[in-house]
Structure 1
Amino acid sequence: MFGTLFLFAKLCFLCQVMAQVIPTKEQLKKSSRVNFTQTDPGTKDEVIYKLFTKDNLRKPILVNDETIINHIKDKHIPMVLLIHGWTTDDTSPWYDPLRDAYLESGPHNIIYINWSRAGNLTYAISCANVIPVGQYIAKFLTVTGVDAKRIHLIGHSLGSQLSSYIAKAYLQWTGLKIGRITAVDPAGPKWERTDVRKDERLSEDDAEFVDITHTDVSYYGYAAPIGHVDFYPNGGVQQPGCPDEEQKENCNHHRSTWLFLESVRTTVEAREAEYLDEGNYNVTINVKPKGKVVTYGQHVDQKAKGIFYFETNGRKPFLKTLR
């Protein structure tokens, strides 16, 4: 009986996602700012948390803000939260391999976040929902007992903007900044308008260290540099191996998740660059001839600051230098 109900619920969710109208590039450019009053977040119990550790590599432990304290055996190891974007859930194809990469690299507490109840409505409502859902997840983090500096939020697309609001609420309640936010192609539409204040969207102020990978600045991704370190692989617009135009399956937008995933096991250098905004979503990234060099992704020097460029392959492995 339970299995039938679960299958029915999953089918309903998939129907809801498929019913979303994916905006065209021109529609995204003309979209209004986020209306933060337009929320429909559901309850805190509709945000699902799945815990993975070296002791349970494949079978997750379902936890919530009342039970998590009983399952964190080691509060002194990094806690990494994987946070999906719009029209998806914790079956996102980057979740499992990124979990595996981290657990192979050493002890971690890995948390899958599924906020699909609030994150898979219309884009406008899902954007507004990042405030209440961010508060739900921040409350969860405050009871884990894990030191703020050991918390790492990894958000893709709208999940990056949600990460910002998790960190904002956490800071408000604890007086502490979360250690790191990694934003993989943070959502741009509605968020990068000039009438959206810095404190209303993702910025370097949200965590002790904020690193960003931009791979789709002309469509779904945020164009301007807004972190401590902003990486623009291949210039941040068109990624090798991706079609020139895409709408339903946005290869450029999703490439960011695979680049960061590979960086857990891979070392590749990125060169300092300058960001030129030529208007109308036309962005140019120019490498500085004598600029700094940093490691891209997971192993970036967290004292680094600036804009950086590197090139990738058109198919896996995307990062060119394997260690």
Structure 2
Amino acid sequence: MFPWQHLALLLLITVHICKAQDCDEFTDLDISHAIIGTNLKIRLLLYTRENGTCGKLLSHTNLTAHPHFNLSRPTTFIIHGYRPTGSPPNWLFSLTEQLLEREDINLIVVDWNYGAANVNYFKAVENTHKAAQNLSEFIELMAKHNANLSSIHMIGVSLGAHISGFVGAILSGSIGRITALDPAGPQFTGTPPEDRLDSSDAQFVDVLHTDIDALGFREPLGHIDFYANGGTDQPGCPKTIFSGGSYFKCDHQRSVLLYLETINRTCTSKAFPCSSYKDFQDGNCLSCEKFGAAGCPVFGHDVMRWKDILLNLRQTKVFFTTNGVSPFCMTNYRVDVMIWNEDVRWGYITIKLHGNDEEAVATIDHSAAKFQKFKETRLFANFDKDIGSVKKVSLQFSTGNVFKPKYKLRVLRVRLTHLERDERPLCRYDILLKENKEVTFRPILCEESNF
């Protein structure tokens, strides 16, 4: 039997097993449905550890009809957004699988594809209110069967984030948590809180922004708002319209991919409170004192560890950076440079950390840094990976000026401080950097007086 025949047989067996188990699947529509327009219909698909790959359609009126639906367990709702082509979200299976692997919960996928699949975006927006009313009635029924509303977590993507907010508002903010992944901006920007998600819609609301200059919402909406890479132009996403559909949706969809890696703890991204992304990039917002001994919050599923602190702060805006591909998390260092050139130098620094057969790179080039004699210049370096034990460091200085004379940067001291681990900084003294020439050295532990 040829390999493709083995695969075909395996797929056939899988299909028969699913049919035998009477699995219910997410509604799969196509562009023709969206062009004609679809009327709202809500389907609630239940997944638990007992039926992790076989969805069960829940009744909106008879909760006891489904033996796997145990109301003594926490319940998480996943609510998708606008579906202009009618296809199921490509991230849905991964999100369902990883949440169930992480926690023993009732996981309910809210399938409102009939209603979200419509080339008329305004009609889909209108349907968000109707979908929220339907969901809130279902949750009220859960409460009548002694479900604890504080243990309900709603994960809403794009329009689904606002649906979560509307549900929370109808239930007077009694549900435990809303996680909003790049809440939709069009038709919601500039509206009052009752017409969009806001922090009063749940006991705790955490929000991720990845596309604030197009499909997402720009302003803070929750108790904590995370801005990945400033909330715009996610690394690895297409930069021109010639890339097709991914040019329009990549930044927006990145929110789900970033959140996914926090569920299984593939990645941990520390986020820093700041008033602007520029200040964050310039290294002006690296203090975590306002969070006390807990330190700066991490983005994603585990942010609940900071809940009490964040509720006291009322509203917190934080920033973090990511790689362009998975694993998305980066490693942050504070880099302090002091020179002894007589003249001021402006330029960019590239740093490489060398470990055992691995290398991490950070290029600090968002704006030219100012280097001045005997004054410490603070830089914020984001490395593409974490090097557990740094053996060597490479530095390269550049001005970006092609036609001007090459400069030298006489470094009196460079100090690298790891911002995720509590360990002694690494230093090096008296280095001569010739423009565009890489210099490699072995760092030493900084003297106590230097930090």
TM-score, length basis structure 2:
0.58
Secondary structure, counterpart of 1:130 in structure 2:
helix
- In 1, the alpha carbon distance for the partners of 2:112 and 2:169 equals 18
Q: 1:240 to 1:10 in 2, by over 3 A?
A: closer
Is contact 1:90-1:112 (8 Å) kept?
no
Q: 1:138 to 1:285 in 2, by over 3 A?
A: farther
**Residue 217 (structure 2) pairs with residue 222 (structure 1):** yes
**Residue 227 (structure 2) pairs with residue 232 (structure 1):** yes
Which letter does structure 2 place at the counterpart of 1:185?
Answer: D
TM-score, length basis structure 1:
0.79
Which letter does structure 2 place at the counterpart of 1:124?
Answer: F
Deviations 1:22-79 (A, max 9, x none): xxxxxxxxxxxxxxxxxx964xxx2011100010011111112123343254323221
- In 2, the alpha carbon distance for the partners of 1:273 and 1:219 equals 23
Q: Where does the alignment leave 5 or more consecutive residues of structure 2 unmatched?
A: 1-18, 332-384, 387-451
Instruction: Report how far residue 251 of structure 1 moved.
Output: 0.5
**Who is 2:204 aligned against?**
209
Which letter does structure 2 place at the counterpart of 1:101?
Answer: Q
Is contact 1:157-1:186 (8 Å) kept?
yes
Is contact 1:41-1:133 (8 Å) kept?
no
**Residue 253 (structure 2) pairs with residue 254 (structure 1):** yes
1:68 to 40, 63, 69: 63
**Who is 1:163 aligned against?**
164
Which letter does structure 1 place at the counterpart of 2:301?
Answer: Q
Alignment map for 1:1-323 (pairs within 5 Å):
10=28, 13-17=30-34, 42=40, 46-71=41-66, 73-87=69-83, 91-121=88-118, 122-144=120-142, 145=145, 146-171=147-172, 177-193=174-190, 196-246=191-241, 248-249=245-246, 250-266=249-265, 267-276=267-276, 286=280, 288-291=285-288, 292=291, 293-300=296-303, 301-303=306-308, 304=310, 305-320=315-330
- In 2, the alpha carbon distance for the partners of 1:319 and 1:227 equals 23
Instruction: Report how far residue 284 of structure 1 moved.
Output: 5.2
Is contact 1:90-1:114 (8 Å) kept?
no
Q: 1:68 to 1:219 in 2, by over 3 A?
A: same
Q: Where does the alignment leave 5 or more consecutive residues of structure 1 unmatched?
A: 21-39, 277-282
- In 2, the alpha carbon distance for the partners of 1:245 and 1:205 equals 38
Q: 1:82 to 1:237 in 2, by over 3 A?
A: same
Larger strand fraction of residues: 2
- In 1, the alpha carbon distance for the partners of 2:53 and 2:163 equals 26
Secondary structure, counterpart of 2:297 in structure 1:
strand
Secondary structure, counterpart of 2:233 in structure 1:
coil
Is contact 2:59-2:65 (8 Å) kept?
no
Is contact 1:241-1:315 (8 Å) kept?
yes
